[in-house]
Amino acid sequence: DAGVTQSPTHLIKTRGQHVTLRCSPISGHKSVSWYQQVLGQGPQFIFQYYEKEERGRGNFPDRFSARQFPNYSSELNVNALLLGDSALYLCASSLEGFTNEKLFFGSGTQLSVL
Amino acid sequence: GNSVTQMEGPVTLSEEAFLTINCTYTATGYPSLFWYVQYPGEGLQLLLKATKADDKGSNKGFEATYRKETTSFHLEKGSVQVSDSAVYFCALSDLRTGSARQLTFGSGTQLTVLP
């Protein structure tokens, strides 16, 4: 079975632009979470979605938004990009999204903002 | 709020050496504790977990014990291999943060094992 897949793997944007990152969860998984990992730091929680509804949101500005589709895939959108948005964006999926479920992470999308 | 503090890295060891990576946490509720590993170019993989005080998580020779009295979850391995070279993240998930499955991660510890 395929794991969590993310696209694209690498992306270069300039300040002020908009970006869309995509994630396909493991088949059968209904929950998708997004994390931002700045170089040298641990991942930080951005969003969790379950059954197309936002279940939780981390401490990120409104420039960050996400959605989940009927097939449980997800998009993360970032508007008005800043240099500080340069990071590895990780998507994780789980069956139901409950606290002690195992999370499966994708390899991430490396975003560089110039 | 919740936070996780890991020992500063990087850590460089010779093959077959003993490994300890320290992790302490602060949480308002009753957290579950995790160790994740990130190999170069890959996403995070769950290494082990413990869901309540005094639980010991173990996997692939790695162990960590949930110590509520010292709010710690130190990672240990008796004999490291070159293939263990990776970045290790301690993390917690608080059962009282509502329905969101939100992991709080430490800053990571880079481990390099030399042959």
Burial B28-55 (b: 16+ CB within 10 A, else e): eeebbbbbbbbeeeebbbbbbbbbeeee
Is the model's pLDDT at A19 over the cut of 90?
yes
The residue of chain B nearest to residue A36, with distances taken between CA atoms, is B105
pLDDT at B100: 60
CA–CA separation, A23 and B80 (whole Å): 34
Mean pLDDT along residues A28-52: 93
Amino acid B36: pLDDT:
96
Closest B-chain CA to A107: B43
pLDDT at position A75, please? 98
3-class DSSP state of A49: strand
**Mean pLDDT, residues A41-65 taken together:** 92
What mean pLDDT do residues B2-8 have?
89
Six token digits for residue B48: 């082990």
Mean pLDDT in residue range A34-43: 93
Whether the Cβ atoms of residue B81 and residue B30 lie closer than 8 Å to each other:
no
Q: Determine the distance in angstroms separating the CA of A96 from the nearest CA of chain B, rounded to an integer.
A: 10
Q: What is the pLDDT of residues B15-50, one digit of tens each?
A: 999 999 999 999 887 789 999 999 988 889 999 999
Given B51, B89, B101, which is nearest A33 (Cβ)? Answer: B101
The residue behind tokens 């989940």 is: A68
Q: What is the pLDDT of residues A73-92, one digit of tens each?
A: 999 999 999 999 999 999 99
Give B99's contacts in chain A (Cβ within 8 Å). 55-56, 97
- What is the Cα–Cα distance from B42 to B39, expressed in whole angstroms? 5
Q: State the sign of the Cα–Cα–Cα–Cα dihedral B115, B16, B76, A34.
A: positive
pLDDT over 80 (residue B58)? yes
How close, in Å, is residue B35 to chain A by CA atoms?
12
Q: How far is B3 from chain A (nearest CA, A)?
A: 11
